[in-house]
Structure 1
């Protein structure tokens, strides 16, 4: 069974219905879903105290900037009027007024500096808190989504969501405080001070600032498109890099190094082209609003001089107004950077929320299986291939009684792995029913069972072996976190890996490398078998899980499984998905899967009459 087929199964509809499209969360259908960046900023509600304190600090700091500029104007007026320093009758000079203004300005600047440090730390802490929350949500979502989603979107895309997109969103969260809140407060206070000096004096800079802001807004959509193009190109780089690392053995075996390097260089080159195009556009467009707002200097200088001559504005107030105009220009430049950051983050936030809004298509029920030996039944099960055009399994029915060891034989692509994945609900059937239980305790549809409890009692050892880049003990304890060293050693012995443990330099604490790269294929298979046996499942499915073992080792492993069953009263039901005669001979019954259904069932000797069965096991008629 191909991965794509299993992916289709994951999106399958309930029994008796046709597959339905992916289900989105209620928030994904709400008006807020149109603004993914606002949804991200709305996470600040989870830290209300820190948010309120940070906002208050930014308000005090940035509103006090206008107070500082106003005080500079008053101080200059005092100097211009000769009040800052006066000559006393004895000929000495009194600097008390000047010192008063200097002390006031220094005190205000010092207080603003201290508060800026505190607010900066608070904003970073708040932003990092939100980023941690978001990354935790991504990890939880990635773990909960069905396997089909992962195969459909690829590892490179997942990595991009949790790294580049999350980092861009972090930049926006930081910019929200440092640029958005700060800029809004500074611009608002600066315009208020200009209007306080003279309404007409403040009107033109206000209009120019609004025009500059509108230009930025019009540029945002283009910035988002450019960032999406860059991100898509980055996805390809990540995907190619992941494949290059994960498939290094295949690449070396077929001498594909140069072709893979050329392909990777092509993806990197395309990514650089998209990045250069985005940077070039930004460099040529972003300065335009800044130039528009900078015209406010000309107006303030010209009209302010007129007000000074008319006696309606002091020299210090004119200097203060020019300082305010300079502040507006720098803030508009900041708005340009913020708009770009937010445009990038908006695209990244959309991709992140697309992932977070995806609802798992496989959701457990609330029924818990009773204690006791378990078997399984398939009743007229139907499973569609990708696109829903053909049925991989069609009217497939079988019953495996509790405690049996059954071998499932079928041609490549006949649906053996898909059938096995139905038992722990790694996939869902498109039609029919899959049940777990026994005649004594009743049979239960897997759709109604608690998912975690089901998977603790039904374990599939797949064809694709996976080991974590951790110690041997940590890999084994994935199935039983509380198992002691004696239990680990027993599981290794049952899986025929006792001699492997003896050869490892640090025993159970030996690190086995990425995906068990330091071990052979057969050793990795035995460790995966040991991990499954350690969990003491009631139903164990070995999906070609002994394909890399020689006949002697395989016999020892299957004997170990029989011994484990005997020690637990024959409770374990075993399904061997295999094409090896040596495995079939260890089973009590054999099943032949062909044409999407069970074509034959019985003892090995009885099935030898079927030519397809003999061909699949490589048995000629004379030998049979």
Structure 2
């Protein structure tokens, strides 16, 4: 496929769009996987056309026989024609059942495959992508947008295949009676298709804008509902209503434009229907007057034209579904074409972490989206088993350092080594399996306590999970819960306190048992009592591991082996707690400022 920059254009939504040929080309590998089922579906689709094709021929036989010689039309002939038609109807019923069941099931298979690929790709995208895209928009792309692919995958081949058969067969049969009249009728089709393509482009643009706005609505609803306590605390209900109403009205406006396009499409098709009937009535009447066509043939013409118009109407009715499917495929491809910035280098092997020593060598880093430069020629050696604390003002790069070690971001230049191995040359999975992270913003999954702790090492036994909970000091409150380890904690652990959630996250890391531990302001959001419990758990967790701690509360790092004070210029000071206080520099000022606040 051609690169996006060559084959794409910017739309008024700020996103890029693809040509229909590109979209179909990217969709074909998914449908090819089920080509056996597709061929069967198309075979049965062709059978459903038999009744529509044969009926005009039966009526022509009846009409010509009756008008030419009434004795030629016998009861026996009539019964044979009726039996033939009934048999065709039974074939049609069976074929239609297969299409409606297996055809749709094929679409479900394709939708499932596409959703799986989209989810896997999303998991590999960097933090930058999630910083710039709303979760509601992303969810819409892999759920609602792909629902329409099921219908598209089933109906698109069917409708066009059936239409093609009917047009070709009708042309052949009608040409046998009157080539001139047939050409007059079929001359209307190219004009009709030209107009339809033009209006379809308008339809697709409005359909995509509609999908984008649905994603915005989902994002707004999600944000408002997840922050419902803040909304209530600040009596922000009216503001949330106002923001939602603005988005809702925008969606209404876009959908109105879409239905104007649909109405234009439907009206143009009805006008062409009328044009084709006019041609049949006028041309057929003149041919009949001059004995250039029989009455039976004219009846057949009218029925075949009715069949063609019914087929075209089905395609028109399918047009909205077609555009929804194409839009769903386009939004799916936009995800799949998002480059994976953080990935394994070619030939990368598993990292071998024996001691856990970490070295930053001439590291420069700027964020990819806003190019904010954070680290400049940064050097740091963390000895194996050392407990290193990092403090300093916001914006100095503390969290950035912790994000670079597990490669949530890649360095702009320089390198980071663990036990002498460049982390950019090892597999991401083995690297991240060697690192445990406890953050200030604890994320717990909807489920039970047991399931959340087990996330640290899938497949761990119940005994190992319970031991991890004891090590983290979480058993103290878990035992008091009605269902113990099997207590449901709600979405994001909403039923637990901050300290309880933090201890579960620590238990998760205990179960993982990594060589390297990163504590990113793990206690800064806790009350004093919870901080005491969590700090004790963290001290046990850090024992025997290389530990990097970011802290705002300096009381939590007094026992660190080494403390570095980070500023925009790099490392400003380093030493133990006592050494830095005696030096009366930046750390001393931070300590006194904190003491004054307490």
Q: TM-score, normalised by structure 2?
A: 0.91
Number of the residue aligned with 1:487: 464
From the superposition, tell whether residues 394 and 162 of structure 1 become closer, same or farther in structure 2 (CA, over 3 Å). Answer: same
Number of the residue aligned with 1:391: 373
Give me the whole-angstrom Cα distance separating, in 1, the residues matched to 2:570 and 2:509: 28
Q: CA RMSD in A?
A: 2.6
1:457-492 Cα deviation digits (max 9, x unpaired): 012222322111111111111111121222222222
Give me the whole-angstrom Cα distance separating, in 2, the residues matched to 1:376 and 1:358: 32
Give me the whole-angstrom Cα distance separating, in 2, the residues matched to 1:509 and 1:320: 72
Within-5 A mapping of 1:492-571: 492-551=469-528, 553-563=530-540, 570=544
For the pair 1:77 / 2:88, whether they are aligned, the reply is no
Number of the residue aligned with 1:90: none
What SS does the corresponding residue of 1:286 show, helix, strand or coil?
helix
Deviation at 1:537, TM superposition (A): 0.9
Worse overlay, 71-80 or 601-610: 71-80
What SS does the corresponding residue of 1:395 show, helix, strand or coil?
strand
Number of the residue aligned with 2:556: 583
Q: Residue 43 of structure 1 is aligned with which of 20, 25, 30?
A: 30
Q: Residue 282 of structure 1 is aligned with which of 251, 255, 262?
A: 262
Give me the whole-angstrom Cα distance separating, in 2, the residues matched to 1:313 and 1:369: 84
From the superposition, tell whether residues 84 and 495 of structure 1 become closer, same or farther in structure 2 (CA, over 3 Å). Answer: farther
Number of the residue aligned with 2:13: none
Give me the whole-angstrom Cα distance separating, in 2, the residues matched to 1:131 and 1:618: 60
Number of the residue aligned with 2:151: 171
For the pair 1:412 / 2:394, whether they are aligned, the reply is yes
Give me the whole-angstrom Cα distance separating, in 2, the residues matched to 1:612 and 1:188: 85
For the pair 1:325 / 2:302, whether they are aligned, the reply is no
What SS does the corresponding residue of 2:421 show, helix, strand or coil?
strand
From the superposition, tell whether residues 474 and 621 of structure 1 become closer, same or farther in structure 2 (CA, over 3 Å). Answer: closer
What SS does the corresponding residue of 1:503 show, helix, strand or coil?
coil
Deviation at 1:29, TM superposition (A): 7.4
From the superposition, tell whether residues 334 and 254 of structure 1 become closer, same or farther in structure 2 (CA, over 3 Å). Answer: same
Asked if structure 2 preserves the Cα contact closer than 8 Å seen for 1:223 and 1:344, the reply is no
Worse overlay, 446-455 or 202-211: 202-211
For the pair 1:465 / 2:430, whether they are aligned, the reply is no
Give me the whole-angstrom Cα distance separating, in 1, the residues matched to 2:412 and 2:305: 67
1:414-457 Cα deviation digits (max 9, x unpaired): 221111011110111112211111xxxxx111110111011010
Within-5 A mapping of 1:313-352: 313-352=293-332
What SS does the corresponding residue of 1:157 show, helix, strand or coil?
helix
Q: Residue 128 of structure 1 is aligned with which of 102, 108, 123?
A: 108
Worse overlay, 554-563 or 500-509: 554-563
Asked if structure 2 preserves the Cα contact closer than 8 Å seen for 1:290 and 1:332, the reply is no
Number of the residue aligned with 1:16: none
What SS does the corresponding residue of 2:556 show, helix, strand or coil?
helix
Compare relative contact order (CA 8 Å, sep 6+) and give the higher one, 1 or 2: 1
Number of the residue aligned with 1:263: 243
- Give unmatched runs, 5+ long, in structure 2: 9-17
From the superposition, tell whether residues 289 and 556 of structure 1 become closer, same or farther in structure 2 (CA, over 3 Å). Answer: closer
From the superposition, tell whether residues 197 and 546 of structure 1 become closer, same or farther in structure 2 (CA, over 3 Å). Answer: same
Q: Residue 43 of structure 2 is aligned with which of 53, 56, 69?
A: 56
Number of the residue aligned with 1:606: 579
Give me the whole-angstrom Cα distance separating, in 2, the residues matched to 1:77 and 1:197: 13
Deviation at 1:212, TM superposition (A): 1.0
Give me the whole-angstrom Cα distance separating, in 2, the residues matched to 1:445 and 1:584: 29
- Give unmatched runs, 5+ long, in structure 1: 1-24, 87-93, 438-442
Deviation at 1:81, TM superposition (A): 4.0
From the superposition, tell whether residues 615 and 75 of structure 1 become closer, same or farther in structure 2 (CA, over 3 Å). Answer: farther
Asked if structure 1 preserves the Cα contact closer than 8 Å seen for 2:356 and 2:384, the reply is yes
Give me the whole-angstrom Cα distance separating, in 2, the residues matched to 1:104 and 1:589: 93
Deviation at 1:251, TM superposition (A): 1.3
Deviation at 1:375, TM superposition (A): 1.9
1:549-591 Cα deviation digits (max 9, x unpaired): 455654554444554566xxx2x21111111123112322111
From the superposition, tell whether residues 271 and 139 of structure 1 become closer, same or farther in structure 2 (CA, over 3 Å). Answer: same
| Runs of 4+ with deviation above 6 angstroms | 29-33
Q: TM-score, normalised by structure 1?
A: 0.87
Give me the whole-angstrom Cα distance separating, in 2, the residues matched to 1:291 and 1:452: 61
Q: Residue 370 of structure 1 is aligned with which of 352, 366, 376?
A: 352
Number of the residue aligned with 2:567: 594
For the pair 1:354 / 2:334, whether they are aligned, the reply is yes
What SS does the corresponding residue of 2:133 show, helix, strand or coil?
helix
What SS does the corresponding residue of 2:203 show, helix, strand or coil?
helix
What SS does the corresponding residue of 1:171 show, helix, strand or coil?
helix
Worse overlay, 102-111 or 481-490: 481-490
Aligned residues: 583
Within-5 A mapping of 1:149-164: 149-164=129-144
Number of the residue aligned with 2:14: none
Give me the whole-angstrom Cα distance separating, in 2, the residues matched to 1:189 and 1:464: 67
Number of the residue aligned with 1:96: 76
Give me the whole-angstrom Cα distance separating, in 2, the residues matched to 1:357 and 1:84: 71
